[in-house]
Amino acid sequence: MHIEREIKLDFADVLIRPKRSALPSRAEVDIHREFRFKHSRHKYHGIPIVAANMDTVGTFDMARALSPFGLSVALHKHYTEPELVAFFRSLENKSSVFYSMGITRGDEDKFERVVEQAGDAVQYVCIDVANGYTEAFVRFVEKLRQTHPGLTIMAGNVVTGEMTEELILSGADIVKVGIGPGSVCTTRSMTGVGYPQLSAVIECADAAHGLDGRICADGGCAAPGDIAKAFGGGADFVMLGGMLAGHDECAGEVVERDGRRYKRFYGMSSRAAMEKYAGGVAEYRASEGREVLVELRGPVANTVQDILGGVRSACTYVGARQLRELTKRTTFVRIASRGGSALFDG
């Protein structure tokens, strides 16, 4: 047994300290990023915000709605092979969509069939498991990299620097960071396992960037300010689930209660998801997600405008003319009510 005594922080534990700025307006801020990925060598240009690969959020309709803004979507895993082939063949912006997969033989075989039919339309892949610390997961990343050297691979989830490094050295271009911070994830309470998300982002970004890799902060963002904190902490991409739930482009059953209309939103390890896709919760495991009702919010475009406006505004408060400058100009102030008022430079 070992206890780490260094303080670890979530987004709610800090604020970004303002600094002198020469920017006259939010309109002067460029929140696009440009990357050349370590392994695939693909060149990315866009706004590095990704809709999560949850079956209510990671939809074809969401991909079509977010692409004009320069945002991306990680499709959920449960579309059929013909649906995926038809969708990827129709894509104009191939860098705006991640194909999502697990690591079973069935997942692998389905992916190979889709790639065979859709060709180079599939350029970005998200290998997604709850626990990215297993040897089987690392071997799968290595195998996919060897089989498809030109794919841009995002893999996760992990929360520590050493595992971030291992995944990058095994072939991942982007490491997905986060265990338990999501609004409908109960992993922390069910298992006692996790890591405060801001500290995970800071530590994993430091590890990844030393190897010319990238990270995606997955979970824990409840407001645009949290997204700004993730970028300020060093995240290259930020993945959103709950913030994009309840929109017209989301899947999910519509429920009416007390004269209001809602959409169901649930974690992909919840009882609702496992009953839908696996016939129930297996006897050897427990549900690690919950189900909530999100009031209908209309088209996602309105929410996207709020998100992008909030991130631009954060940049003006610290004088970052481009999003890539935000982490260099970020100083986090620990909130006194949560245990102090220390400063942490990003």
Annotated catalytic residues are 185
What is the spatial distance between Cα 222 and Cα 230, in angstroms, rounded to a whole number? 12
295 bridge partner residues? 262
Task: Give yes or no for a cis peptide into 157 (omega within 30° of 0).
Answer: yes
DSSP 267: -
What is the spatial distance between Cα 300 and Cα 315, in angstroms, rounded to a whole number? 23
Cβ–Cβ < 8 Å for 308, 69: yes
Helices (H), the chain: 60-66, 81-90, 105-118, 135-147, 161-170, 187-191, 197-209, 224-232, 271-278, 300-318
Residue 288 tokens read as 């690690």
Cβ–Cβ < 8 Å for 287, 191: no
What is the spatial distance between Cα 265 and Cα 257, in angstroms, rounded to a whole number? 15
Residue 308 tokens read as 């992008």
What is the spatial distance between Cα 340 and Cα 333, in angstroms, rounded to a whole number? 9
254 bridge partner residues? 263
263 bridge partner residues? 254, 294
